Amino acid sequence: MAKMNMKSVLGLVLAGSLAISLTACGSKNNNEGNANAEASNNAGATNAATEKPASNEKVTITFQNIYPDPTDPKNQMMAKIVKQYETDHPNVKIELDSLNTDQQKQKLKTQAASKEVPDITVVNPAAQMQPYVDAKLFAPLNDMVEQNGLKDTFQDGVLDFYTFDNNLYALPDGNNIGVVYYNKDLFQQAGITKTPETFEEMIEDVKTLKAKGIQPMAIGEKDTWTGSFLFMNILLRTNGGPGFLSDVVAGKKTFEDPAFVEAVDAMQNLIQAGAFQEGVTSFDYNAGENIFKTGKAAMYYMGSWATGGIETSEALKDKVGVFKFPTVNGKGDPNQFMLAPGSAFAISADSKHLQETKDFLNYFMLNFPKEAFAVKGAVGIAQKVDGDFKAAGYSDMAISVLDLFKEVKGGDLSFDNTMNPGTSQGHLTSIQNIFVQKKDSAEVAKEHQSAFESNK
Amino acid sequence: MNVLKVSKLTIALFVLPCLLLYVCLVFVPIIVSLYTSTLEWNGIGESKFIGLDNFNKLLFHDAVFWPAVRHTLMFAVFSMLEIPIALFVAILLSRFVKKPNFLVSSYFMPVILSVVIIGQLWKTIYNPASMGGMLNQVLDWVGLGSWSQQWLTDPDIAMYSLYFVALWQYLGYHTLIQFTGIQNIPSDIYEAAKIDGAEGLKADWHITLPMNVPIFKISIVLAFIGSLQSFDMIMVMTGGGPGNATDVIATHMYRMSILSMKYGYGSAIAAILVVVCLVATVVINYGFNRLERKYT
């Protein structure tokens, strides 16, 4: 009996293994085939949704967005604005396609490959949206942004990151800066009375904290952009101001420039001083942030979008402050920040109802700041907000972040928003490497230069 | 075929759906990616035909590719070296354990678990002691603190840590296959051998091993192809890092085609992977066919 059982098990295993070995070599190559198939499916769906305007001027607009979570205030806010618009315009139906960030990126890539972009979609700024703009997938919004004074609601300069050849292609929902969060209690325990104003002080603080057995900083370097974001802020200082990467692109500088090598040196000093938790490259973004959020690390460098999550963390109630990233070797201006203009809404150039879609997005963005303020989501949005944050119940930390925003005097974008994807990958792995082993800084600079040249 | 008493047409008809599916899902994509491997293409916009440039760059100017190939082949070698161990475990089980099925199924457990769960589990085990890593803490307790390592973040060790997890996961799988093979060897052969004076491990050497060669081959092929495709576990545990220290062919392909948006280049890597797969399968088959002819 036992034997019979084993026989049938073997049968199953064999059948399974046959299936596996048949598909073995092929499965990794299916990407494109599947992608195309999926894209055309999606295409079918969007066509079905948009191809019915003939009678009665009924219009359906597909609105792809990244607010899928019904408990997220942004989702509720979006639903509210959409509903209001549909009530005011009975002939317009807004079809929501709500996806989480990664899904949306994937879906848009497949849709773009077959040139079937939804009426409204979401893209990232500058270099990351460049391929889509080059493929002429988006409609210019120059005329639309002038209507109803929409342009003036945006903060100065933020729209530049979505403008190519004087054409504006997308409207951002967020605009953040890189700041250092710190745990006041842990600073006090270590006897540190004031926040560091120079990078050298910061390294001293790291050593003091370390000596007291307190984890000085946390980071989630398995997601390589986190370390890159911090590194770029150091570079912003050693370069004496913004624009290093654009100078490299323009051919005015190379990565072997002293400012870059100095930044790598400073970064390595921080790492070698033992600033980050052990095993840092196996912590992803969330795991890294959690170390800080559970009160186990003293400092955390991140974009101001982290404010909400840190604010609501139980372990940190009223214990967290923020400070500007300090000067490095006396260079740089602390009022220049790493800028992180957020994801943005773009309109498909092939939209069947271009005018209606533009009208809707105009309405949506006009109402965005007011509604975001109401649901306490107005820290780090790209538009100006009228209203008393304190009275509306925003926390002290949120307000000090908002105060930092007022002092921003320009800055740099993250590496992958400035450079093409190939060079960015080279940079990200190169920086991740110095988290685990000390390297010659000139060598790191050389790696960058060769990654840049082979991806021109 | 004639024994079946069905016309060839009927056979063809019944095979057709699967064949079509197979062609559409496997063959066509392979051909398409062979074509895209000759393009300079970001996956979205215009593409440009560049002939074999991608392959030239990949084979001769890519600092990551050859280490990735080495990691992949080492992976394959380690997983194939595991098979004799699995066979040995299976022999022990069938010879010395009264009710072996329970043990076999428990060894099989990790195979059923999702790779993501396994990855997260081992990540926690490998963590530094200060972050609650079990392995390092255990080493500390037994007084071997000096042996503790940055298992996943030391570039010299990380790859071996990953191999070990894969071996741990699949030991039960191959033990099951080998065990089943051993169970299917008729017991009268052993009885005859016993009369001739061959018992215990001697009988295993002269009977179990040769008669189990076909099953052994299945395990080897599975292990080899499985390790060429290794991707998910590495993505979960290290993402190819630190730096490129744990990149294998598949993770390099992913990084290139999806993250660097070099679709053509990624396809070229895929094409090489297909070739490696095919060649290896042919070689292994050839080798074992000779063995089988010798023993059966």
pTM (2 d.p.): 0.81
Closest CA to A305 of A196, A378, A383, A223: A378
Sheet holding A170-172, edge to edge: A92-98, A59-65, A120-123, A344-347, A170-172
User: Between A25, A29, A278, which is nearest B150 by CB?
Assistant: A278
Residue A326: per-residue pLDDT? 96
For A29-145, strand residue ranges (E) read 59-65, 92-98, 120-123
- Cβ contact (<8 Å) for A279 and B128? yes
CB-based contact, B122 to chain A, within 8 Å: no
User: Between B153, B176, B274, which is nearest A279 by CB?
Assistant: B153
A216 and A105 inside one domain: no
Taking the C-alpha atoms of A33, A35, A37 and A42 in order, what is their torsion angle to the nearest 10 degrees? -170
How distant is the Cα of B20 from the closest Cα of chain A, in angstroms? 14
Q: Are strands A175-183 and A297-303 parallel, antiparallel or unpaired?
A: antiparallel
Q: Say whether pLDDT at A42 is over 70.
A: no
Q: Which residues of B touch A31 (CB under 8 A)?
A: 29, 33, 257, 270
User: Is the residue at A132 inside a domain?
Assistant: yes
Question: Any residues with CB less than 8 A from the CB of B145 and at least 6 apart, and which?
Answer: B139
User: Which of A4, A32, A103 best probes binding to B when mutated, by most B CB atoms within 10 angstroms?
Assistant: A32
- Cβ contact (<8 Å) for A135 and B45? yes
- Residue in chain A closest to B236 (alpha carbons) equals A282
Pairwise pLDDT comparison (A397 vs A255), residue with the higher score: A255
Pairwise pLDDT comparison (A309 vs B51), residue with the higher score: B51
A144 and A185 inside one domain: no
Q: How far separated are the first and last CA of chain B, in Å rounded?
A: 24
- Cβ contact (<8 Å) for B225 and A21? yes
Assign residue B192 a region (left: φ > 0; alpha: ψ between -120 and 50; beta: otherwise).
Answer: alpha
How distant is the Cα of A455 from the closest Cα of chain B, in angstroms? 10
How distant is the Cα of B25 from the closest Cα of chain A, in angstroms? 7
- Cβ contact (<8 Å) for B101 and A280? no
Q: Is A122 helix (H, G, I), strand (E, B) or coil?
A: strand
Instruction: Give the tens place of pLDDT for each residue, A290-305.
Output: 999 999 999 999 999 8
**Token pair of A432 as six digits:** 């991740």
A127 and A70 inside one domain: yes
A291 and A321 inside one domain: yes
A410 and A366 inside one domain: no
Give the whole-angstrom CA distance, residue B86 versus residue B92: 10
A427 and A374 inside one domain: no
Q: At what angle do helices A421-436 and A225-238 cross, to 10 degrees?
A: 90
Residue B281: per-residue pLDDT? 85
Cβ–Cβ under 8 Å, residues B138 and B196: no
Residue A316, domain CATH? 3.40.190.10
User: Between B238, B250, B260, which is nearest A422 by CB?
Assistant: B260
At A287, the pLDDT band (50, 70, 90 cuts) reads confident
- Residue in chain B closest to A279 (alpha carbons) equals B153
A162 and A242 inside one domain: no
Residue A159 carries which DSSP code? G
Q: Say whether pLDDT at B172 is over 70.
A: yes
Instruction: Give the tens place of pLDDT for each residue, B174-210.
Output: 999 999 999 999 989 888 988 888 888 888 888 888 8
Instruction: Give the tens place of pLDDT for each residue, B111-162.
Output: 999 999 999 999 999 988 877 889 999 998 998 888 888 899 888 999 999 9
Residue B149: per-residue pLDDT? 86
Residue A17: per-residue pLDDT? 43
At A112, the pLDDT band (50, 70, 90 cuts) reads confident
A260 and A297 inside one domain: yes
Q: Which amino acid is at B5?
A: K
Q: Say whether pLDDT at B293 is over 80.
A: yes
Q: Mean per-residue pLDDT for B37-61?
A: 88
CB-based contact, B176 to chain A, within 8 Å: yes
Q: Which residues of B touch A432 (CB under 8 A)?
A: 241-243
Instruction: Give the tens place of pLDDT for each residue, B4-41.
Output: 678 888 989 999 999 999 999 989 999 999 999 999 88
- Cβ contact (<8 Å) for A6 and B150? no
Distance (Å) of CA B153 to CA A278, A283, A344, B127, B156: 9, 10, 36, 9, 9
Residue A47: per-residue pLDDT? 41
A209 and A267 inside one domain: yes
**Token pair of B65 as six digits:** 């590719």
Q: Where are the domains of chain B?
A: 61-259+266-295
Cβ–Cβ under 8 Å, residues A378 and A372: yes
User: Is the residue at A245 inside a domain?
Assistant: yes
User: Is the residue at A81 inside a domain?
Assistant: yes
Residue A267: per-residue pLDDT? 97
User: Is the residue at A11 inside a domain?
Assistant: no
Q: Say whether pLDDT at A40 is over 80.
A: no
User: Is the residue at A29 inside a domain?
Assistant: no
User: Is the residue at A357 inside a domain?
Assistant: yes
Mean pLDDT of the residues in chain A: 85
Cβ–Cβ under 8 Å, residues A378 and A395: no
Taking the C-alpha atoms of B58, B61, B67 and B69 in order, what is their torsion angle to the nearest 10 degrees? 20
User: Is the residue at A65 inside a domain?
Assistant: yes
A230 and A311 inside one domain: yes
Last residue of a domain, one of A387, A417, A445: A387
Cβ atoms within 10 Å of B155's Cβ, excluding its own: 17
Cβ–Cβ under 8 Å, residues B232 and B116: yes
A382 and A412 inside one domain: no
Q: Quick check: bond before B84 cis, omega within 30?
A: no
Domain extent, residue A200, equals 176-340+397-454
Q: How many domains does chain A have?
A: 2
* CATH no. for B61-259+266-295: 1.10.3720.10
Q: Say whether pLDDT at A93 is over 60.
A: yes
